[in-house]
Amino acid sequence: MRRRRWPLLSLLAFGYAFLYVPILLLIVYSFNESRLVTVWSGFSIKWYRELLHNQQLLEAAWLSVRIAAVNATLAVVLGTLAANALVRHGRFRGRNAFELLLTAPLVMPDVIIGLSMLLLFVAMQHGLGWPDGRGFTTIAIAHITFSTAYVAVVVRTRLAQMDASLEEAAMDLGARPLTVYLRITLPLIAPALLSGWLLAFTLSLDDLVIASFVSGPGSTTLPMVVYSSVRMGVSPQINALATLIVAVVTLAVIIAGVTSLRGSRTQRRR
Amino acid sequence: MPAPQDNPPARRQRLSRVVNIGLPYLWLGVFFLLPLLIVLQISVAEPRLGQPPYTPLWEWLESGVLQIQVNLQNFMLVWEDSIYLTAFLNSLWVALVCTLLCLLIGYPMAYAIATAPPRWRIPLLMLVILPFWTSFLIRVYAWIGILKTNGLLNHLLLALGVIDTPLNILHTQTAVYIGVVYSYLPFMILPLYANLSRLDPTLLEAAADLGCRPLRAFVRVTLPLSLAGIVAGSMLVFIPVVGEFVIPDLLGGPETLMVGKLLWTEFFGNKDWPLAAALAIVLLGLLVVPFVLMQRLERRMEDSA
């Protein structure tokens, strides 16, 4: 058996190379002196300096981060409620439709979500007078809608795997259901809430299509700025931005990995 | 469970239902389902100048008569103008080819990860997920620099003497295939891994003990048992790719007609909202079948679990 593994392992190596070489090239050429992405003309950090002086891009990034944070927080609340409903409330009436509504946003093409949300906002503004114009609020609402579905998947898995005996013990000792939920259940599913929050944050920060539909004048998000500069061709500033994003993500993953490793070790020690 | 009565626990139980089921239901109903119904409504409207740029579905005339206007012109246009039909067929084709390519690359990867020593599995899986956390737009952008006529790939191939003249890959359908497979590969690997890692290894041992060769055991035992993972991964790739906009827009060329890009152009370029809505409705109709298939499969796995 052991000897036969090398074809599989070389395929695995090829797969990882395919996933990582483009990202590594982006990083390498962000330090290139020349504007031409293909010609190496010496090490330089001038694109990072230009990036930090790009007022339009910085403002867009700040808007995106704020939307992403609001989105992630509300999506975690709604997604956790939905996961509670699916795991704790059994076969309630309308469950199939509920699950359908929670699964569809995961695969629905962005253009359909974007167009439909915009048409809703236009109709609401026409009929109810709210929302008045489009921008932060409309983008956040659109993002919460699809992020909730992702959070629900993450939290639901964790909730279903959870050991129910701790909750039962608290219940037997006379704690009210809400107390049990807040003091036993929530701490136990906290890692899932955190990963759901981070996932929702990333999805929002990454979205170009939906935000383009539901944004208004004066509310340009980071992906919209990146998109318009990428359409003009290759730009080393975008390489610098990519490098910063990769650095942040890698750091976050390493921290998360170390924390969860330490967490599982302390748990074993107990 | 005792019969629900109007005592405090029953009331609390009811409150919990209202909050847990009601709030997400309400949100998704208002902000997901209702918008799709509005798209349907506007797909049968006529474009007009003004705000909003489409005719209303119903209007109270002065005589007190309710007038309902349904205009099927947009759907007729989508059916009759070959550009839309071509775009739909090409979108389905691109999604199909890319799903198969993802399966071809993703299955061996998922299999290798699932059969790796246990302490390697999580790091290997993390390496698959990591690119997914970095910006999608920027990962697509990375391929522009690689595939350009004077890009990195052509430089490398020219230097190695593999080719004499640079290849034209960027702004062709090939570039779209590469970009889609690159971006969607993690979506294929994750469900496949989840499925393959739960596979009982004793089944393969039993097959080997009975004299079955490894390849035959794979085809007769592993492959059928991982069918659920294959379908789940394929749907996670196929359905969104049919409506993909960013990849055909940045990497594709004039001959890569895809419906997501067409819808974008009708909406932002031509400002024809009703036609864009009609395209969305047809696209939605095409995706219902694979979606229902996925949903059924999920429920079956849930029931068996």
Query: What CATH number does residue B243 fall under?
Result: 1.10.3720.10
Of A138 and A235, more confident: A138
Determine the residue of chain B that is closest to A117 in CA distance: B35
State chain B's mean pLDDT as an integer: 89
pLDDT by residue (tens digit) across A83-104?
A: 999 998 888 888 989 999 999 9
- What's the DSSP call for residue B169? -
Q: Which pLDDT score is estimated for A264?
A: 65
Question: Where residue A1 falls among pLDDT bands split at 50, 70, 90?
Answer: very low
SS3 B67: strand
Closest CA to B260 of B281, B282, B242: B242
| Dist CA B84 CA B143 (whole Å) | 28
List of residues 6+ apart from B272 with CB closer than 8 A: B47, B266
Quote the minimal CA–CA distance from A141 to chain B in Å.
8
Query: What is the domain extent for residue B175?
Result: 73-304
| Dist CA B83 CA B278 (whole Å) | 14
| Dist CA A170 CA A177 (whole Å) | 9
Interface of A with B in 2-21 (CB under 8 A): 4, 8-9, 11-12, 15-16, 18-20
Q: What total number of domains does chain B contain?
A: 1
State chain A's mean pLDDT as an integer: 89
- Tell me the chain B residues in contact with residue A38 when contact means C-beta distances shorter than 8 Å: 145, 148, 150-152, 155
Determine the residue of chain A that is closest to B127 in CA distance: A16
Query: CA Rg, chain B, in Å?
Result: 25
Residue B240 lies in a domain: yes
Is the torsion defined by CA of A71, A74, A77, A81 positive or negative? negative
Give this complex's ipTM: 0.90
Closest CA to B256 of B137, B93, B75: B93
Closest CA to A65 of A240, A221, A225, A247: A221
| Interface membership of A84 toward B (CB under 8 Å) | yes
Interface of A with B in 189-248 (CB under 8 A): 202, 205-206, 208-209, 212-213, 223, 226-227, 230-231, 233-234, 238, 241-242, 245-246
Q: Do B52 and A126 touch (CB under 8 A)?
A: yes
Q: Do B276 and A22 touch (CB under 8 A)?
A: no
Q: Which pLDDT score is estimated for A177?
A: 85
- Tell me the chain B residues in contact with residue A98 when contact means C-beta distances shorter than 8 Å: 21, 24-25
Quote the minimal CA–CA distance from B262 to chain A in Å.
10
For Cα atoms A49, A53, A57, give the angle at the middle one, nearest 5 degrees.
115
Q: Do A107 and B291 touch (CB under 8 A)?
A: yes
Structure tokens at B254: 């004039």
Phi and psi, residue A31, nearest 5°: -100, 15
| Dist CA A116 CA B167 (whole Å) | 40
Of B187 and A41, more confident: B187
- Identity of the residue in B12, B105, B273 whose CB atom sits nearest the CB atom of A15: B105
pLDDT by residue (tens digit) across A140-155?
A: 999 999 999 999 999 9
Residue B292 pairs in a beta bridge with none
pLDDT by residue (tens digit) across B176-188?
A: 999 999 999 999 9
Structure tokens at B260: 């997501």
pLDDT by residue (tens digit) across B78-103?
A: 899 899 999 999 999 999 999 999 99
Q: Do A257 and B126 touch (CB under 8 A)?
A: yes
Q: Do A78 and B23 touch (CB under 8 A)?
A: yes
Quote the minimal CA–CA distance from A59 to chain B in Å.
18
Residue B4 pLDDT exceeds 60: no
Residue B237 lies in a domain: yes
| Interface membership of A184 toward B (CB under 8 Å) | no
Q: Which pLDDT score is estimated for B208?
A: 86
Q: Which pLDDT score is estimated for A263?
A: 65
Average pLDDT over residues A187-197: 92
Residue B69 pLDDT exceeds 80: no
Alpha helices in chain B (DSSP H): 8-17, 23-28, 34-43, 73-80, 82-114, 118-133, 136-147, 152-160, 173-197, 201-209, 214-217, 223-225, 227-242, 246-251, 259-264, 273-304
Buried-exposed string A173-211: b where 16+ CB fall within 10 A, e elsewhere? eebebeebbeebbeeebeebbebbbbbbbbbbbbbbbbb
Task: Determine the residue among A116, A198, A207 to mutate to test chain B binding: the one whose Cβ has the most chain B Cβ atoms within 10 Å.
Answer: A116
Three-state secondary structure string covering A60-78: HHHHHHHHHHHHHHHHHHH
DSSP-derived secondary structure for chain A = -GGGGHHHHHHHHHHHHHHHHHHHHHHHHHTBSSSSTT----B--HHHHHHHT-HHHHHHHHHHHHHHHHHHHHHHHHHHHHHHHHHHS-S-TTHHHHHHHHHHHHHS-HHHHHHHHHHHHHHHHHHH--S-SSSHHHHHHHHHHHHHHHHHHHHHHHHHHS-THHHHHHHHTT--HHHHIIIIIHHHHHHHHHHHHHHHHHHHHH--HHHHHH--TT---HHHHHHHHHHT---HHHHHHHHHHHHHHHHHHHHHHHHHHHHHHHHHH-
Average pLDDT over residues B239-260: 94
Interface of A with B in 94-123 (CB under 8 A): 94, 98-113, 115-117, 119-120, 122-123
Buried-exposed string B248-287: b where 16+ CB fall within 10 A, e elsewhere? bbbbbeeebbbbbbbbbebbeeeebbbbbbbbbbbbbebb
- Identity of the residue in A9, A78, A249 whose CB atom sits nearest the CB atom of B134: A249
- Identity of the residue in A16, A122, A148 whose CB atom sits nearest the CB atom of B24: A148
Query: CA Rg, chain A, in Å?
Result: 23
Residue B244 lies in a domain: yes
Q: Do A123 and B142 touch (CB under 8 A)?
A: no
Q: Which range, of A23-32, A36-45, A98-107, averages the lowest pLDDT?
A: A36-45
| Dist CA B227 CA A116 (whole Å) | 34
Q: Which pLDDT score is estimated for B54?
A: 82
- Identity of the residue in B31, B113, B240 whose CB atom sits nearest the CB atom of A145: B31
Output the CA torsion A167→A168→A169→A172 (10° steps): 130
Q: Do A22 and B31 touch (CB under 8 A)?
A: no
**CB contact at 8 A, B145 and A29:** yes
Residue A3 pLDDT exceeds 60: no
Average pLDDT over residues B141-152: 90
Average pLDDT over residues A171-192: 90
Inter-chain contacts counted by CB atoms under 8 A, chains A and B: 241
**CB contact at 8 A, B204 and B219:** no
pLDDT by residue (tens digit) across B33-51?
A: 999 999 999 999 888 777 7
Q: Which pLDDT score is estimated for A267?
A: 58
Residue B54 lies in a domain: no
- Tell me the chain B residues in contact with residue A142 when contact means C-beta distances shorter than 8 Å: 31
Determine the residue of chain A that is closest to B111 in CA distance: A8
Q: Which pLDDT score is estimated for B196?
A: 93
Structure tokens at B170: 């960027």
- What's the DSSP call for residue B50? S
Interface of A with B in 159-178 (CB under 8 A): 176-178
Residue B66 pairs in a beta bridge with B60
Residue B154 pLDDT exceeds 60: yes
- Span between the terminal Cα atoms of chain A, in Å: 38
**CB contact at 8 A, B246 and A208:** yes
- Tell me the chain B residues in contact with residue A246 when contact means C-beta distances shorter than 8 Å: 134
pLDDT by residue (tens digit) across B159-171?
A: 898 888 889 999 9
Which CATH number fits the domain A54-240, given the four candidates 1.10.3720.10, 3.90.25.10, 3.40.50.300, 1.10.420.10?
1.10.3720.10
